[in-house]
């Protein structure tokens, strides 16, 4: 061992050459006594807990003492939870779960307040959807580097994209894809976040139309939507968004070009066989039908050109969105195909934008395409042929820079700052490190188990940080104490600073399958601690914001409006009387301004719960249809008199409300 720096309990130790941690700590214990609890020494403690020097080294690299902060933050897809997990690095502590597509009651996300309006924008064809299969979080970028302003995530199951504002870590917008019935290649941003790209997964007639499977080739299609992002407003501008029609191959992961390849996008696909299954009729299942060809197609998209053509009126309108047809894309050089080895999955552009790395699930290689070669072939129109939809196909061998022998089942690739790439290898359960320069694998580290996605510190930007790789493992088998048949996922933090990769810690994620994640340096984030007074879920100062002293109850247009404030430790007003059947509209503003002084507001039985962070405003509407006495109270422990922060909603029965004397009324019980 070379140099070890131990920082902890106010003790800074530097031990040089050839000394074990226990020995090293022993020397210094003489100088400064540390309270080791029941243990006599660090050595005893290590022996009692069965820890090796390597364990202690890993602990020292990941331990974040009480009161200290993590250096990086991971935004991890919450998979079937429909939400996003925020995790600190190197501690791997869960810092927050951001409510996105799925109601999240702590944040009052989707329980009667203004967030319901944002969730309602994500309805598809008038259907309320209260869950999602979140796949790929992508941070906003400026010049190809994370800028810490926004996060975009896609919902594979219902073809939607959400915008999360990183000023307050709250979802601000959900857009429903009007064309596709599922998505996967999303939500990838172009280098300046001009567009958020969302590409479909399973082909279907565009615009949610019907066509029988016998017309698969004619009527079924894939699609890539380019959602225009308005940075000033912090929202996707649906009116400026457009799409490119894709052939009915199953489009998979995607990435936007950067630097040399800026203006381009790349999408994998599988099932170029266009297998449609039919297992009940003894036809082969899609899994075998889709694995017949040796090659599938990487889609190469010149999106700048597509944007010009859309502006020139070359798109056709489907469900209110301009779509560039296949015939135009093929002829104009917008969409070109090139073969890619069997069942490709990850599609990752290198930090310099010069190469595109594709992993093949049923192949042992990562294939590295040279953008320069690809671009030249397209410019010179050197095509090997055309597919069934008239799309030009490039020669595989002329388009690649080479292939890296990786192992069984390479999937996704991320990068460091020293010219290495790290590929997740699903079947072999390893992370493979390889050199971008000579395309040789240099090392593999075993992970536990069946790694799917992989991330590294700012590893898909133009300037990766190196330092850490995280293996996102789909199975955890024997790694944790049993919690029933549904196992936690396992994030493994890998140190990539040394000659060899080292696993530092296991972090069970007890919340659905994390697909992609991104890791950002925390100093890039500019979060707020309180809202400007009266700010609603959409980020605007609400027209119904309430100031202290202006609280009131008014009846208008058959509705009871209550302008209410919340401050430690009372609501004003705290008694609300309505008639059965009246519509109640509560406008509640937290008039707190102090850091971490959050209140909540809930009412018995009406499925209402909102979170009132300092300055936050919520509008809550419900019909008081059942007579009774409904306590409302603050759900966030806010002060010593938190339990007293309550009030009453009295819903008077219709038939008795006019004249019945108090004594005649039923008492509760």
Omega before residue 573 within 30° of 0, cis: yes
Q: By C-beta, is 170 or 638 nearer to Cu ion?
A: 638
Smallest separation, CB 111 to Cu ion (Å):
17
**Stretch near Cu ion under the rule CB under 5 A, chosen from 334-342, 356-364, 486-494, 641-649:** 641-649
**Stretch near Cu ion under the rule CB under 5 A, chosen from 100-108, 359-367, 495-503, 638-646:** 638-646
Omega before residue 449 within 30° of 0, cis: yes
Figure out which of the listed residues 73, 334, 645, 651 binds Cu ion, where binding follows CB under 5 A. 645
- x/- string (CB under 5 A) for Cu ion, residues 166-185? --------------------
**Stretch near Cu ion under the rule CB under 5 A, chosen from 277-285, 441-449, 531-539, 633-641:** 633-641
Question: What 3-state DSSP class applies to 199?
Answer: strand
Smallest separation, CB 229 to Cu ion (Å):
36
User: Own/partner pairs for 568-572, CB < 8 Å, 24+ apart?
Assistant: 568/592, 568/597, 568/599, 568/638, 568/639, 568/641, 568/645, 569/634, 569/638, 569/639, 569/640, 569/641, 569/642, 569/644, 569/645, 570/644, 570/645, 571/601, 571/632, 571/634, 571/645, 571/646, 571/647, 572/548
- x/- string (CB under 5 A) for Cu ion, residues 392-431? ----------------------------------------
Question: What 3-state DSSP class applies to 316?
Answer: strand
Smallest separation, CB 568 to Cu ion (Å):
6
Q: By C-beta, is 76 or 576 nearer to Cu ion?
A: 576
Smallest separation, CB 638 to Cu ion (Å):
3
Q: Which DSSP state fits 324?
A: E
Figure out which of the listed residues 98, 638, 649, 651 binds Cu ion, where binding follows CB under 5 A. 638
Site for Cu ion in 311-350 (CB under 5 A): none
Residue 7, strand partner residues:
12
Site for Cu ion in 237-296 (CB under 5 A): none
Q: How many of the chain's residues bind Cu ion (CB under 5 A)?
A: 4
Figure out which of the listed residues 139, 166, 318, 634 binds Cu ion, where binding follows CB under 5 A. 634
Q: By C-beta, is 137 or 614 nearer to Cu ion?
A: 614
Q: By C-beta, is 432 or 612 nearer to Cu ion?
A: 612
Cβ atoms 471, 491 nearer than 8 A: yes
Give CA–CA dist 347/356, Å, rounded: 7
Cβ atoms 604, 626 nearer than 8 A: no
First to last CA, the chain: 72
Question: What 3-state DSSP class applies to 432?
Answer: strand
Give CA–CA dist 541/112, Å, rounded: 19
Q: By C-beta, is 446 or 642 nearer to Cu ion?
A: 642
Smallest separation, CB 587 to Cu ion (Å):
18
Site for Cu ion in 580-619 (CB under 5 A): 599
Q: By C-beta, is 537 or 634 nearer to Cu ion?
A: 634
Q: What is the DSSP track for 215-284?
A: GHHHH-BEEEEEEEEETTTTEEEEEEEEEEEE-SSEEEEEEE--GGGTTEEEEEEE-TT-----GGGTPP
Site for Cu ion in 195-234 (CB under 5 A): none
Q: What is the DSSP track for 387-430?
A: -TTS-EEE-HHHHEEEEEE--S-EEEEEE-TTSEEEEEETTTTE
Smallest separation, CB 569 to Cu ion (Å):
6
Q: By C-beta, is 324 or 566 nearer to Cu ion?
A: 566
Give CA–CA dist 440/422, Å, rounded: 12
Q: What is the DSSP track for 55-89?
A: HHHHHHHH---TT---SEEEEEE-BTT-SEEEEEE
Q: Which DSSP state fits 487?
A: P
Q: By C-beta, is 460 or 551 nearer to Cu ion?
A: 551
Smallest separation, CB 456 to Cu ion (Å):
41
Q: By C-beta, is 182 or 590 nearer to Cu ion?
A: 590
Smallest separation, CB 536 to Cu ion (Å):
19
Smallest separation, CB 612 to Cu ion (Å):
8
Q: By C-beta, is 192 or 639 nearer to Cu ion?
A: 639
Q: By C-beta, is 195 or 571 nearer to Cu ion?
A: 571
Tokens 């991330």 belong to 455
Q: How many CA atoms lie within 13 A of 294 on its CB side?
A: 2
Smallest separation, CB 560 to Cu ion (Å):
23
Smallest separation, CB 546 to Cu ion (Å):
16
**Stretch near Cu ion under the rule CB under 5 A, chosen from 272-280, 417-425, 529-537, 644-652:** 644-652
Q: By C-beta, is 514 or 647 nearer to Cu ion?
A: 647
Q: By C-beta, is 235 or 599 nearer to Cu ion?
A: 599
- x/- string (CB under 5 A) for Cu ion, residues 548-587? ----------------------------------------
Smallest separation, CB 567 to Cu ion (Å):
9
Cβ atoms 507, 87 nearer than 8 A: yes
- Any idea what the Cα angle at residue 583 is, between residues 629 and 102, rounded to 5°? 90
Footprint on this chain of Cu ion (rule: CB under 5 A): 599, 634, 638, 645
């Amino acid at each position: 061992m070379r140099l070890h720096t131990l920082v902890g309990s106010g003790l800074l130790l530097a031990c040089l050459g050839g000394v074990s941690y226990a020995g090293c700590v022993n020397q210094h214990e003489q100088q400064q006594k540390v309270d080791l609890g029941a243990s006599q020494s660090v050595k005893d403690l290590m022996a009692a807990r069965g820890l090796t020097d390597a364990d202690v080294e890993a602990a020292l690299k990941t331990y974040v003492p009480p009161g200290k902060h993590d250096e990086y933050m991971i935004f991890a897809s919450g998979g079937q939870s429909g939400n996003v997990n925020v995790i600190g690095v190197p501690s791997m502590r869960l810092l927050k779960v951001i409510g996105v597509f799925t109601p999240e009651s702590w944040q009052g996300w989707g329980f009667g307040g203004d967030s319901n309006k944002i969730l309602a924008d994500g309805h598809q064809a008038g259907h309320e959807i209260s869950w999602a299969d979140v796949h790929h979080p992508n941070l906003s970028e400026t010049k190809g580097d994370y800028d810490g302003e926004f996060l975009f995530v896609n919902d594979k199951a219902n073809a939607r994209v959400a915008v999360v504002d990183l000023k307050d870590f709250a979802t601000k917008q959900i857009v429903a894809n009007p064309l596709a019935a599922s998505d996967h290649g999303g939500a990838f941003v172009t280098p300046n976040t001009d567009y958020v790209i969302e590409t479909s997964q399973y082909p279907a007639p565009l615009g949610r139309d019907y066509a029988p499977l016998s017309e698969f080739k004619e009527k079924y299609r894939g699609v890539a939507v380019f959602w225009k992002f308005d940075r000033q407003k912090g929202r996707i501008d649906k009116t400026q968004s457009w799409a490119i029609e894709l052939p009915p191959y199953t489009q998979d992961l995607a990435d936007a070009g950067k630097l040399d390849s800026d203006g381009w996008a790349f999408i994998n696909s599988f099932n170029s066989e266009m297998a449609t299954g039919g297992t009940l009729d003894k036809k082969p299942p899609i899994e075998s039908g889709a694995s017949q060809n040796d090659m599938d197609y990487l889609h190469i998209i010149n999106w700048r050109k597509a944007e010009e053509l859309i502006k020139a009126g070359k798109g056709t309108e489907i469900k209110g969105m301009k779509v560039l047809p296949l015939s135009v894309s093929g002829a104009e050089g917008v969409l070109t195909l090139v073969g890619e080895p069997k069942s490709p999955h990850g599609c990752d552009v290198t930090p310099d934008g010069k190469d595109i790395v594709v992993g093949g699930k049923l192949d042992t290689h990562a294939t590295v395409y040279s953008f320069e070669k690809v671009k030249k072939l397209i410019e010179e129109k050197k095509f090997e042929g055309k597919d069934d939809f008239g799309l030009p196909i490039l020669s595989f061998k002329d388009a690649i820079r080479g292939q890296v022998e990786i192992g069984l089942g390479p999937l996704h690739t991320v990068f460091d700052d020293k010219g290495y790439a790290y590929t997740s290898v699903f079947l072999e359960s390893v992370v493979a490190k390889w050199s971008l320069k000579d395309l040789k694998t240099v090392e593999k580290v075993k992970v536990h188990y069946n790694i799917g996605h992989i991330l590294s510190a700012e590893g898909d930007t133009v300037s990766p940080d190196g330092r850490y790789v995280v293996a996102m493992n789909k199975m955890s088998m024997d790694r944790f104490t049993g919690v029933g048949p549904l196992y936690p996922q396992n994030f493994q933090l890998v140190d990539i600073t040394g000659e060899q990769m080292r696993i530092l810690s296991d972090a069970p994620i007890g919340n659905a399958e994390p697909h992609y994640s991104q890791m950002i340096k925390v100093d890039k984030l500019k979060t707020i601690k309180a809202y400007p007074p009266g700010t609603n879920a959409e980020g605007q100062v609400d027209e119904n914001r309430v100031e202290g002293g202006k609280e009131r109850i008014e009846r208008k247009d058959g509705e009871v409006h209550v302008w209410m404030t919340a401050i430690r430790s009372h609501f004003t007003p705290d008694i609300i009387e309505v008639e059965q059947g009246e519509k109640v509209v509560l406008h509640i503003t937290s008039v707190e301004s102090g850091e971490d002084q959050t209140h909540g507001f809930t009412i018995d039985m009406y499925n209402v719960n909102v979170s009132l962070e300092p300055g936050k405003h919520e509008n809550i509407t419900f019909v008081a249809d059942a007579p009774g006495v409904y306590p409302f109270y603050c759900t966030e422990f806010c002060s010593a008199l938190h339990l007293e922060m309550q009030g009453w909603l009295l819903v008077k029965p219709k038939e008795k409300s006019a004249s019945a004397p108090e004594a005649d009324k039923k008492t509760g019980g």
